[in-house]
Copies of this chain bind each other. A is one copy, B any other.
Amino acid sequence: MARRLFLVCAWLLTGCTATLAADAPADSITLVYRDLSRRLIAEGLSEYRAYALLAELAREAPLRLSGSPGAERAVSLTAAMMKRLGLERVRVESVLVPRWERGPVEEAVVLGDGGWQELSLSVCALGGSVGTDAQGVTGPVIEVKSLQEVKSLGEKARGAVVFYNRPMDPTLLNTFAGYGGAVDQRSGGAIEAARAGAAGVLVRSVTLARDDAPHTGSMSYTDSVRKIPALAISTLDADSLSQILKSEREVRVRMRLSARTLPDVLSGNVLGEIVGIERPDEIVVVGGHLDAWDKGHGAHDNGAGCMQAIEALDLLKRVGFSPKRTIRAVMFMNEENGLRGGRAYASAPTRASERHVAAIEADRGGFAPRGLSVEADSATVLRWARWSPLFADLGAGRIFRGGSGVDISPLVSLGVPGIGLVVDDHRYFDYHHSENDTIDAVHPRELEMGAIVISLLAAILADE
């Protein structure tokens, strides 16, 4: 791109501004907050502090699955971080959380004639899976594309390793829709296979990436059927295994896992605030979940959302904004495998003396913001959609009715309007729940843009 483009750019920018100005209704909210928006942008983009916070979290508490020592370090760290930044009333609200441990062994090997190991597959235990004994479980592999297909396997399934291999549909524009269309294999696959008499399950990683990294995530059991072990397999090895199955009469796999579930342990949600100057008991929550799967460092999922919440409050402090209502950052514990933190927060006795006016969550990765998904009655959605021109400046002008966030869903159930930060999600599932989800996968500027959107939104909700 040559020098001449910059002349062109000047015109482009003029065009942009003109378009926005033309779009903007003569709305007092828009006019009042445009100045705040400018200050937040100037402050946020000058340093990208959300990224520095995320780097600190990833360094000090990279592994922080609920109940683990890392999760407790993350609780202490974020409480200390909030205090250091001058947030008020910083505290930890206790939550009893499940504790599942992966342990050192997670393997699936294709066995050759005579039971010799022929090929080691790239796998990891699904979150919540039972373990096996040292011998593991061995069975012939049966590839299926759906839970429905397992039901029709009949006697064949008995003692088998059921291999769920339906890929995410890449042709859906919204990658969350692609994820939603494939993840039933992971969440419900072990139950269905166990009902059919299977010995274990292998589940194709729910990702659009074709690489060697297995992607973990929650799976469930039900009391009425046997608990069988469950492994995620990388997409490349899922494709390889599928190829082998096409050419071999019978392919036997041995699965071994050291995973286990331990007794619940005490953990907590971390809270910190900018106390409102007029209505301190009216609350705008800005949240993310502090726990993360124990692959990668939970940088996008959801260190990003947590650090954006803290940075959003700090940004408001740095530009000297004093909200009328209280803006509260909440690091929810245990979103990934229990939602205990979200439930505990919504039902805590101290909530009785508070009125929540809105809850915001960013849990779709730390990418460039595109819009706001509002989970509320139509009148509220329409009212808030009027802010679209203001957020369009930040690339997030699409305000529509939709889901908000998992951690805040218990609040939403109580009638609190929820808002999810919608981001550019093309890359998200490349990283999600895998060793790829490290700080390198997060772009400082994209992350900060999300924090700026959240801070502006929180400010408006706290004052209107």
Chain A contact residues, CB within 8 Å of chain B = 1-16, 18-19, 41-42, 45-46, 48, 170-174, 176-177, 179-180, 183, 187, 208, 217-218, 220, 301-302, 335-337, 339, 363-364, 368, 370, 373, 375, 393-395, 398, 400-406, 409, 420, 422, 424, 426-427, 432-433, 443, 445-446, 449
Contact = CB atoms under 8 A, between A and B. Distances in A.
A420 B2 contact: no
B3 A46 contact: no
Contact of A393 (B173, B183, B335): B173
Contacts of A375: 8, 11
A-B complex: 10 closest residue pairs judged by Cβ atoms: A8-B403, A15-B402, A12-B402, A6-B180, A19-B400, A15-B401, A12-B403, A9-B176, A45-B171, A426-B445
A46 B171 contact: yes
B180 A406 contact: no
Contacts of A8: 375, 402-406, 409, 420
Nearest to A393: B173
A368 B2 CA distance: 22
Contacts of A336: 1-2
A401 B19 contact: yes
Contact of A10 (B2, B3, B180): B180
A438 to B, nearest CB: 15
Nearest to A338: B2
B402 A6 contact: no
Nearest to A16: B400
25 contacts: A1-B336, A1-B406, A2-B218, A2-B336, A2-B406, A5-B176, A5-B403, A6-B176, A8-B405, A9-B174, A10-B180, A12-B403, A16-B174, A16-B400, A16-B402, A18-B401, A19-B398, A19-B400, A45-B172, A46-B171, A170-B445, A368-B424, A370-B395, A426-B449, A427-B446
Contact of A170 (B13, B46, B301): B46
Given A373-B15, A400-B19, A41 B171 contact: yes
A60 B176 CA distance: 36
A93 to B, nearest CB: 20
A314 B393 CA distance: 35
Nearest to A445: B426
Given A2-B336, A13-B177, A15-B403, 11 more contacts: A1-B335, A1-B336, A5-B403, A9-B174, A9-B180, A9-B403, A11-B403, A15-B401, A19-B400, A170-B445, A426-B446
A444 to B, nearest CB: 9
A337 B420 contact: no
Nearest to A43: B171
A176 B45 contact: no
Nearest to A363: B1
Contacts of A11: 375, 402-403
A319 to B, nearest CB: 13
A364 B2 CA distance: 11
Given A2-B335, A4-B406, A370-B395, A179 B18 contact: no
Given A41-B171, A424-B424, A445-B426, A373 B12 contact: yes
Q: Which of A48, A364, A368, A426 has the most CB atoms of chain B within a 10 A radius of its CB?
A: A426
Contact of A5 (B7, B46, B398, B406): B406
A339 B170 contact: no
Q: Which of A1, A426, A433 has the most CB atoms of chain B within a 10 A radius of its CB?
A: A1
